[in-house]
């Protein structure tokens, strides 16, 4: 099964971002029927570790590693990060373009939390994508379905975006069910309090 570890913004933060996206050229294109591959709002999250395919019999080990990572971070004095969705950027070019919104606030605390979870995944010999953690929330994969000038205008607009503040209070092990209508199933939740 396909797994990742993530945190989720509050519904207020997600609603504010959704409203901002609807006012973009990406949003207008989607509303007019262009498949700019906007990610469904229930799937919006910030990934701390991407594990990819994991054998079903290893899920309990992964869940335990996530629990241990969060608990060790809290025991070492980690405090729930206060964040807000802010700014924007892109990964890739042309047909590989991915658009994201960034984070402001206690981003270093979030990275520290992610590092603790990753350390415990390593201890349990659970493989994950080793790329450095760049906290962001992906909201569209338009590829080349939107003119470059429109995408540049949207990124310029979002560069000044700043959503409402929220505090991370839980870390989740999530199963991704890909397909035409993807679903994310939260398997394990670990409180930061």
The CATH code for residues 2-191 is 3.90.1140.10
Please give the Cα distance from 176 to 2 (Å, whole number). 5
Using alpha carbons, list the distances in angstroms from residue 184 to 3, 12, 133. 9, 19, 20
Report yes or no: 40 and 177 within 8 Å, Cβ to Cβ: no
Please give the Cα distance from 109 to 79 (Å, whole number). 7
Ordered strands of the 170-177 beta sheet:
46-53, 2-7, 170-177, 183-191
Report yes or no: 18 and 87 within 8 Å, Cβ to Cβ: no
Per-residue pLDDT for the chain (193 aa), expressed as one digit of tens each? 999 999 999 999 999 999 999 999 999 999 999 999 999 999 999 999 999 999 999 999 999 999 999 999 999 999 999 999 999 999 988 888 999 999 999 999 999 999 999 999 999 999 999 999 999 999 999 988 899 999 999 999 999 999 999 999 999 999 999 888 899 999 999 999 8
Q: What are phi and psi of 63, to 5 degrees?
A: -60, -40
Pairing assessment for the beta strands 2-7 and 46-53 based on DSSP bridges: antiparallel
* DSSP per-residue letters across 117-149: HHHHHHHTT-----SPP---EEEE--TTSS-HH
pLDDT on residue 179? 85
Report yes or no: 127 and 55 within 8 Å, Cβ to Cβ: no
Report yes or no: 133 and 50 within 8 Å, Cβ to Cβ: no
Please give the Cα distance from 136 to 45 (Å, whole number). 8
Please give the Cα distance from 182 to 4 (Å, whole number). 14
pLDDT on residue 183? 95
pLDDT on residue 94? 84
- Measured from the Cβ of residue 100, the count of other Cβ atoms closer than 10 Å reads 23
pLDDT on residue 135? 94
Six token digits for residue 28: 């207008």
């Amino acid at each position: 099964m396909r797994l990742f570890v993530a945190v989720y913004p509050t519904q207020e933060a997600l609603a504010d971002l959704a409203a901002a996206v609807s006012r973009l050229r990406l949003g207008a294109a989607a509303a007019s029927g262009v498949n700019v591959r906007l990610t469904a709002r229930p799937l919006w999250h910030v990934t701390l570790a991407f594990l990819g395919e994991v054998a079903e019999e290893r899920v309990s080990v992964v869940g335990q590693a996530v629990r241990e990572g969060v608990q060790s971070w809290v025991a070492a004095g980690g405090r729930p990060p206060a964040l807000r969705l802010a700014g924007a950027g892109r990964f890739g070019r042309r047909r590989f373009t991915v658009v994201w919104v960034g984070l402001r606030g206690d981003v270093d605390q979030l990275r520290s939390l992610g590092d603790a979870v990753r350390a415990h995944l390593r201890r349990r010999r659970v493989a994950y994508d080793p790329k450095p953690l760049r906290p962001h929330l992906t909201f569209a994969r338009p590829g080349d379905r939107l003119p470059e000038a429109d995408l540049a205008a949207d990124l310029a607009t979002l560069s000044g975006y700043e959503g409402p503040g929220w505090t991370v209070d839980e870390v989740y092990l999530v199963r991704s069910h890909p397909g035409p209508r993807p679903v994310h199933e939260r398997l394990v939740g670990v409180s930061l309090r």
